[in-house]
Amino acid sequence: MKRARIKKIAVFVTLSLVLVGFIGFVEKQSLYKTYQGMEISIDGQSGVYFVEDNEIRRILKESFPNLKVGAVLEEVPLKQVENRISGHPFVKAVDATVGQKGILHLEIQQYQPIARIARPLAADGYITTEGRVVPTSPSYTSRVLILEGDYAEKLMDKGDISIEMPDLMELIEFITGDEFWSAQIISLEVNSPSDIRMYQQVGEQVIEFGDAKNIADKFDRIKIFYKEILPRKGWDAYSRVSVKFKDQIVCE
């Protein structure tokens, strides 16, 4: 009799524990079916972030006021969230997913500036590694190759430099992709597609490059100027160097 009573108590305790565990599991599952917040991961380039965590949160808060903790996960508009964030000028790509714990994960890839269009009477702009023209960021300034001149200013109205002026894009990539030239050439004066001039970090000579064709050959001639002519004549001997004509180095 006593043994049967103990058995009943043990069964009751076991069932009670199972019930408590089931209730906890259901509550936990219910929790995971609701929005519990967001995590934002931004792929920064060289530690520079033109897209900020707080800025993304502000944009989503203004655009989706109902996106609050406790909202049903099925009602979280993932595609709309991606489209809204993609509207940021420096966002290259975004992937929005919801994890099992109800957390909205945002993976954001930003554009990388490769050159800056400087305009004295209007806002500047960046050219990205893809050739896309984007506005500058109020938060950060990237130290990149500067483009000036009348034609450079017109490039602000172009959506894609690699399409509108592929030769210029190749020239920018050549300079920025070379350790020496990226440090030595600080700006380009682009007056027209056939009138490009370079300004140096060391040396006051204006380098008349001409058009953005035969790039490697022209830079080889600039190297000859550095290695063979300047050591004999001195850095202050010339104010202008031209390599725009084939097989020529004109110094004045």
- Identify which has the larger pLDDT, 173 or 159: 173
Please, which pLDDT band fits residue 137 given cuts at 50, 70 and 90? confident
Tens of pLDDT along 55-72? 999 999 999 998 889 888
Q: Tell me what pLDDT residue 242 has.
A: 93
* Between 138 and 4, the higher pLDDT residue: 138
Of residues 180 and 121, the one with the higher pLDDT is 180
Over the stretch 74-117, which tens digit does the pLDDT of each residue have?
888 999 999 999 999 889 999 999 988 899 999 999 888 899 99
Task: Indicate the pLDDT class of residue 160, thresholds 50, 70 and 90.
Answer: confident
Cβ count near 4 (within 10 Å): 8
What pLDDT is stored for residue 86 in this prediction? 93
Contact (CB, 8 A) for 229 and 240: no
Mean of the pLDDT values across residues 18-26?
Answer: 44
Going by pLDDT thresholds of 50, 70 and 90, the confidence category of residue 135 is confident
User: Tens of pLDDT along 193-214?
Assistant: 999 999 999 888 899 999 999 9
- CATH topology assigned to domain 37-110: Ubiquitin-like (UB roll) (3.10.20)
- The gap from C-alpha 231 to its chain's centroid, in whole angstroms, comes to 41
Supply the DSSP string of the chain, one letter for each residue: -HHHHHHHHHHHHHHHHHHHHHHHHHHHHHHHTB--EEEEEEE-BTTB-SS-HHHHHHHHHHH-TT--TT-BGGG--HHHHHHHHHTSTTEEEEEEEE-TTSEEEEEEEE--EEEEE--TTS--EEEETTSBEEEPPSS-----EEEESHHHHHGGG-SBHHHH-HHHHHHHHHHHTSHHHHHHEEEEEEEETTEEEEEESS---EEEEESS-SHHHHHHHHHHIIIIIHHHH-TTS-SEEE--STT--EE-
Assigned fold of 113-251? Rossmann fold (3.40.50)
pTM, rounded to two decimals: 0.76
In the chain, what are the domain boundaries? 37-110, 113-251
